């Protein structure tokens, strides 16, 4: 789960949309992960996350990772053509534009870990030297190496 020494009551995220404690972040991201798994989303899938920078964005990114899938961050301000290109190019299985009302089956328990160091954590798109966005796949091992 989300690492916290305050018993879940410490503040984990502050941003547009409010404040989440570690416990709330854990519960909301677990709900989303279980909902994604219920739709068949998991290891090997990539989910587009089309949300503004907000508390919900943090919930979405963590929930997608807990499901075993990777994510493609997409700014809602992008032109529709860019989003469509990113979806097609990255093989996105689903695009999340909200975390509210997502079918979760009522589960908030911890999601069993799946995947490994070579699995996709996220795909980030650069502007591309040719004028077309270029997707760069970042694996879990690269994220861990960067944070270590």
- Enumerate residue ranges in the chain where pLDDT < 50: none
Delineate the domains of the chain, giving CATH numbers in brackets: 11-147 (3.40.50.980)
CA distance 59 to 97: 12
CA distance 50 to 95: 7
Q: CB–CB of 133/127 below 8 Å?
A: yes
pLDDT of residue 4: 56
pLDDT of residue 82: 93
pTM confidence score: 0.88
pLDDT of residue 131: 77
pLDDT of residue 5: 60
């Amino acid at each position: 789960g989300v690492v916290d020494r305050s018993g879940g009551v410490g503040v984990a995220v502050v941003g547009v949309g409010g404040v989440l404690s570690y416990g709330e972040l854990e519960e909301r991201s677990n709900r989303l992960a279980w909902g994604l798994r219920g739709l068949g989303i998991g290891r090997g899938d990539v989910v587009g996350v089309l949300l503004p920078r907000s508390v919900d964005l943090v919930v979405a990114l963590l929930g997608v990772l807990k499901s075993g899938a990777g994510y493609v961050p997409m700014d809602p301000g992008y032109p529709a053509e860019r989003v469509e290109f990113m979806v097609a190019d990255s093989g996105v299985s689903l695009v999340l534009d909200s975390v509210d009302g997502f079918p979760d089956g009522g589960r908030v328990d911890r999601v069993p870990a799946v995947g490994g160091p070579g699995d996709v954590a996220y795909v980030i798109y650069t502007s591309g030297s040719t004028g077309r966005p270029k997707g760069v796949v970042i694996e879990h091992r690269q994220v861990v190496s960067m944070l270590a």
